[in-house]
């Protein structure tokens, strides 16, 4: 857990450094997330990191004040629209520091509630890293910065592969039982694999491409991933590594 928490903090710190000096007009510009400004991407992370910290501290969700958002932004994101950029950054930094402190005493196998289910502390922490990276991509793009992938992506690739059955069930479909082999090249050049090596259904390529697909930050046809027809391509069409309702994903650039 110490290593995983350190990777979460490193991902958050990387994002902070990438966006903190962006001019204010970038912070108030539309991001690739439909209906969200760049600042909304960061306020979302701040809000959920604070919620995750309370859950890690208490084992339960914080009490709701009953307020709802506007269907696109949460009530918290709408409130954060009134913050200055420095105030927003302070909110986010305090939330994520509180989260890291709350996670450190916990056992990786403990269970915590999230998105209507429970998950292990290890998965809970990995999910926060995934959110920081995926929403960070939207913020970084809006800031006009070129993202730099790291081997922290192994955590995201793993959860992307592990949620294969969930992606089907979340759409009301029966999971495809055919074995799937995934082989990815890490940013460092290392090779990461999941599934039986002799599986007929295969996905290969860059870890960054695969992670962007499973977090629905890019359409799979806009990547350099190689995949077999059938179960492998079917998975790329519905992949969803994050909890909650089915995501709309990003349309193909050609369409």
Tell me the average pLDDT across 202-208: 98
Residues 141, 137: Cα–Cα separation, whole Å: 6
Q: Which domains does the chain have, with CATH numbers?
A: 2-132 (1.20.120.450), 153-238 (3.30.1050)
Give the three-state DSSP class for 32.
Answer: coil
Give the three-state DSSP class for 100.
Answer: helix
65 secondary structure, DSSP code: -
Exposure string for 194-224, b = 16+ CB within 10 A, e = fewer: bbeeeeebbbbbbbbbbbbbbbbbbbbebbe
Percent of the chain scoring above 90 in pLDDT = 90
| pLDDT of 254 higher than 80 | no
How does pLDDT run across 39-56, given as a tens digit for each residue?
A: 999 999 999 999 999 999
- The structure tokens listed for 86 are 């420095």
Summary count for the chain: helices (H), strands (E): 10, 6
Percent helix, strand and coil across the chain, each to the nearest 5: 50, 10, 40
* Whole-number Cα distances in Å, 148 to 15, 205, 219, 220: 10, 17, 19, 20
pLDDT band at 255 (very low <50, low <70, confident <90, very high): low
* Average pLDDT value for the chain: 95
pLDDT band at 69 (very low <50, low <70, confident <90, very high): confident
**Cα of 230 vs its chain's centroid, Å:** 26
Task: For CA atoms 226, 229, 235, 238, give the dihedral sign.
Answer: positive
How does pLDDT run across 73-99, given as a tens digit for each residue?
A: 999 999 999 999 999 999 999 999 999
pLDDT band at 251 (very low <50, low <70, confident <90, very high): confident
- The structure tokens listed for 106 are 């916990």
- The predicted pLDDT at position 250 comes to 87
Residues 98, 55: Cα–Cα separation, whole Å: 11
Residues 219, 161: Cα–Cα separation, whole Å: 17
Tell me the average pLDDT across 62-68: 82
Reported in sequence order, the residue ranges of the chain that DSSP labels E, i.e. its strands, are 111-114, 117-120, 180-185, 191-194, 201-206, 226-227
- The structure tokens listed for 68 are 């709802």
- The predicted pLDDT at position 244 comes to 80
Tell me the average pLDDT across 136-161: 97
**β 201-206/191-194 pair status:** unpaired
- The predicted pLDDT at position 88 comes to 98
- The predicted pLDDT at position 71 comes to 85
Which ranges of 59-206 would DSSP assign to H, the alpha helix? 75-80, 85-103, 121-143, 153-162, 164-169
pLDDT band at 33 (very low <50, low <70, confident <90, very high): very high
- The predicted pLDDT at position 66 comes to 77
pLDDT band at 245 (very low <50, low <70, confident <90, very high): confident
- The predicted pLDDT at position 20 comes to 97
- The predicted pLDDT at position 82 comes to 96
**Prediction pTM value:** 0.94
């Amino acid at each position: 857990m110490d290593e995983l928490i350190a990777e979460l903090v490193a991902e958050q710190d990387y994002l902070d450094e990438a966006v903190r000096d962006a001019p204010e007009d970038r912070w108030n510009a539309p991001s690739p997330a439909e209906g969200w400004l760049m600042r909304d991407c960061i306020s979302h992370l701040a809000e959920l990191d604070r919620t995750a910290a309370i859950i890690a501290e208490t084992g339960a969700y914080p009490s709701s004040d009953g307020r709802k958002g506007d269907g696109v932004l949460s009530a918290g994101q709408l409130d954060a629209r009134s913050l200055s950029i420095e105030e927003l950054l302070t909110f986010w930094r305090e939330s994520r520091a509180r989260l890291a402190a709350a996670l450190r005493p916990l056992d990786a196998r403990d269970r915590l509630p999230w998105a209507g289910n429970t998950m292990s502390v290890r998965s809970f922490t990995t999910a926060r890293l995934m959110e920081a990276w995926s929403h960070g991509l939207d913020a970084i793009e809006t800031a006009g910065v070129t993202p730099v992938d790291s081997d922290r992506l192994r955590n995201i690739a793993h959860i992307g592969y592990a949620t294969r059955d969930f992606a089907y069930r979340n759409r009301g479909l029966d999971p495809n039982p055919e074995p799937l082999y995934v082989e990815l090249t890490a940013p460092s050049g290392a090779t990461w694999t999941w599934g039986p090596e002799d599986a007929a259904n295969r996905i290969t390529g860059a870890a960054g491409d695969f992670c962007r697909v499973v977090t629905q930050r890019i359409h799979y046809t806009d990547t350099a991933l190689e995949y077999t027809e059938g179960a492998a391509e079917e998975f790329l069409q519905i992949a969803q590594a994050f909890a909650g309702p089915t995501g709309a994903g990003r349309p193909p650039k050609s369409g």
